[in-house]
Amino acid sequence: MAALSLFGIWGLAHKVTVLGLVLVSVCIGLTILMFRWAGALTGHMDTQGRLSVNKVVYAALGVLFGTFTVFSLGLAVLKPPQSLDDGLVMVFGLVGSVALTYLCYMAIQRFK
């Protein structure tokens, strides 16, 4: 994710677009979040009795992944996959986004 963020910044340096700014912002945010999670998992950051980041971050990620799920499901209905490979990619994407949405929901519910 960090490499993708750097690539996005490099792309924005050559041509600035609104979509590019949004995507690079999401990539940078996820990079920071993953580094925080890594710090919590390795013990470099004390997270006993609390989440590694604010609940708002998990809520925003849950909305992002939920939106992706609905968009992918709508795309699957409107334009079904043409091959088995396309179908597998779509199914794995849907299952992954549903799982990530549920994990974000569980993180929010863990510490009320």
Q: Is 24 exposed, middle or buried (0-12, 13-18, 19+ CB in 10 A)?
A: buried
Q: Tokens in use for 22?
A: 């949004």
Q: Compute the distance between CA of residue 112 and CA of residue 103 in angstroms, rounded to an integer.
A: 15
pLDDT at 9: 92
pLDDT at 75: 87
Centre a 10 Å sphere on the Cβ of residue 68 and count the other Cβ atoms it contains.
17
Q: Tell me the whole-structure pTM to 2 decimals.
A: 0.68
> Residue 9: CA atoms inside 13 Å, Cβ hemisphere, count?
9
Give the E-state strand segments of 24-81 in sequence order. Answer: none
Buried b (16+ CB within 10 A) or exposed e, 55-66: bebbeebbebbb
Q: Tokens in use for 52?
A: 């590694």
pLDDT at 112: 64
Residues in the chain: 112
pLDDT at 111: 66
Residue by residue, pLDDT tens for the chain (112 residues) are 889 899 999 999 999 999 889 889 988 988 888 888 888 778 777 777 677 777 888 888 899 899 989 998 998 889 888 989 988 988 998 998 999 899 888 888 876 6
Q: Compute the distance between CA of residue 62 and CA of residue 101 in angstroms, rounded to an integer.
A: 5
pLDDT at 14: 92
